[in-house]
């Protein structure tokens, strides 16, 4: 069961790179586990460490810079392209991210994230640039109920339209995420209907 997600107010980690594929998020050699836990330590593994050595962190990489923290990852366009590995979503969640903000998401990643209680927030290019322009102290407020994301940069931004954007989410997925429901429970409840469907089409 995914954790419910309503509002997240947090600093963010900026990863201003486009086309981040799932091989970067979690390289294939770490997919050998048979459980869902423990992937966080290998998140962005090859960008985080030199020669795959945990004692040699790459100081220039954002996850290794203590000034950046928070439950929100902000990334360049076309985040999560590539393989269908759900391990990408598991590693983000396990590391502590609940929200990923980008101007574009790959389809399979979007589904995988939603199925695990990680919210993909798609914003415009301009808004994404604006977030990247903020300092590390700036917090973001992601409000799923209202489908909005706001930049809280210390000033009173309540009246400032340009610091807020709304985002789309499938209403069904939204309900699931707000409550921590899961698709499988819903599908299981439909089993009688599925069986009728199978009978009517005469099997395959």
Partner 1 sequence: MDKQPGMQKTLFEKIWDKHVVKTIEDGPSVFYIDKHFIHEVTSPQAFAGLKKRGIPVFRPAQVVATADHNVPTLNQHLPIREEMSRKQVDALISNCAEQGIELYGLGHPFQGIVHVIGPELGITQPGMTIVCGDSHTSTHGAFGSIAFGIGTSEVEMVLATQCLLQSKPKLMRITVDGTLQKGVVSKDIVLYILSKISASGATGYAVEFAGSAIRSLSMEARMTICNMSIEMGGRCGLIAPDSTTFEYIKGRKFAPAGVIWDQKKTEWEQLFTDPDAIFDKEYHFIAEDIQPMITYGTNPGMGIGVNEFIPTQDQVHASDKSGLTKSLTYMGLKEGAPIKGQSIDYVFIGSCTNSRIEDLRMVASFVKGRKKAENVEVWVVPGSKQVEAQAIKEGIDKIFEAAGFQLRQPGCSACLGMNEDKIPAGKYCISTSNRNFEGRQGAGARTLLASPLTAAAAAITGKVSDIRELL
Q: Among 161, 113, 169, which residue's Cα sits nearest to residue 143?
A: 169
Rg (CA), the chain: 19
In the complex, the smallest distance separating the C-beta of residue 23 from partner 1, rounded to whole angstroms, is: 4
Put the strands of the sheet holding 164-166 in their side by side order: 119-122, 99-102, 72-75, 7-15, 139-143, 148-152, 164-166
Contact mark string toward partner 1, 157..176, x via CB under 8 A: -------------xxxx---
Closer residue to partner 1, CB minimum distance, 19 or 153 = 19
What is the 3-state secondary structure of 82-134?
CCCCCHHHHHHHHHCCCEEEECCECHHHHHHHHHCCCEEEECCHHHHHHHHCC
Give the distance, in angstroms, between the CA of residue 185 and the centroid of all CA atoms in the same chain: 22
Q: Binding marks (x or -) toward partner 1, 113..152, rule CB under 8 A?
A: --xx--------x---------------------------
In the set 107, 162, 178, 179, which binds partner 1 (CB under 8 A)?
Answer: 107
Q: Which is nearer to partner 1, 53 or 156 (CB)?
A: 53
159: number of Cβ within 10 Å:
6
Q: Does 112 bind partner 1 (CB under 8 A)?
A: yes
Under rule CB under 8 A, residue 93 binds partner 1: no
Region of 56-64, 66-74, 77-85, 150-158 interacting with partner 1 (CB under 8 A): 77-85
User: How many residues in the shown chain lie near partner 1 by CB under 8 A?
Assistant: 55
- What residue ranges bind partner 1 (CB under 8 A)? 16-19, 21, 23-24, 27-29, 31-36, 46, 52, 77-78, 81-87, 89, 104, 106-108, 111-112, 115-116, 125, 170-173, 182-184, 186-188, 190-191, 193-194, 197-198, 201, 204
């Amino acid at each position: 069961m995914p954790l419910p997600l309503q509002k997240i107010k947090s600093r963010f980690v900026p990863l201003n790179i486009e086309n981040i594929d799932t091989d970067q998020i979690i390289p294939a050699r770490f997919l050998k586990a048979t459980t869902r836990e423990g992937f966080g330590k290998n998140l962005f593994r090859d960008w985080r460490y030199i020669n795959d050595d945990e004692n040699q962190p790459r100081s220039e990489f954002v996850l290794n810079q203590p000034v950046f923290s928070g439950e929100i990852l902000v990334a360049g366009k076309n985040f999560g392209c590539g393989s269908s590995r759900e391990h990408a979503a598991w590693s983000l969640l396990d590391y502590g991210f609940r929200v990923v903000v980008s101007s574009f998401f790959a389809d399979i990643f979007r589904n995988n994230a939603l199925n695990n209680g990680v919210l993909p927030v798609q914003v415009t290019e301009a808004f994404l640039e604006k977030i990247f322009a903020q300092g590390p102290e700036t917090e973001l407020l992601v409000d799923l109920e209202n489908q909005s994301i706001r930049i809280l940069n210390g000033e009173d931004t309540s009246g400032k339209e340009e610091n807020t954007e709304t985002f789309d989410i499938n209403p069904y997925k939204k309900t699931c995420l707000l409550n921590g429901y899961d698709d499988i429970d819903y599908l299981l409840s439909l089993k009688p209907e599925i069986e009728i469907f199978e009978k009517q089409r005469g099997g395959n």
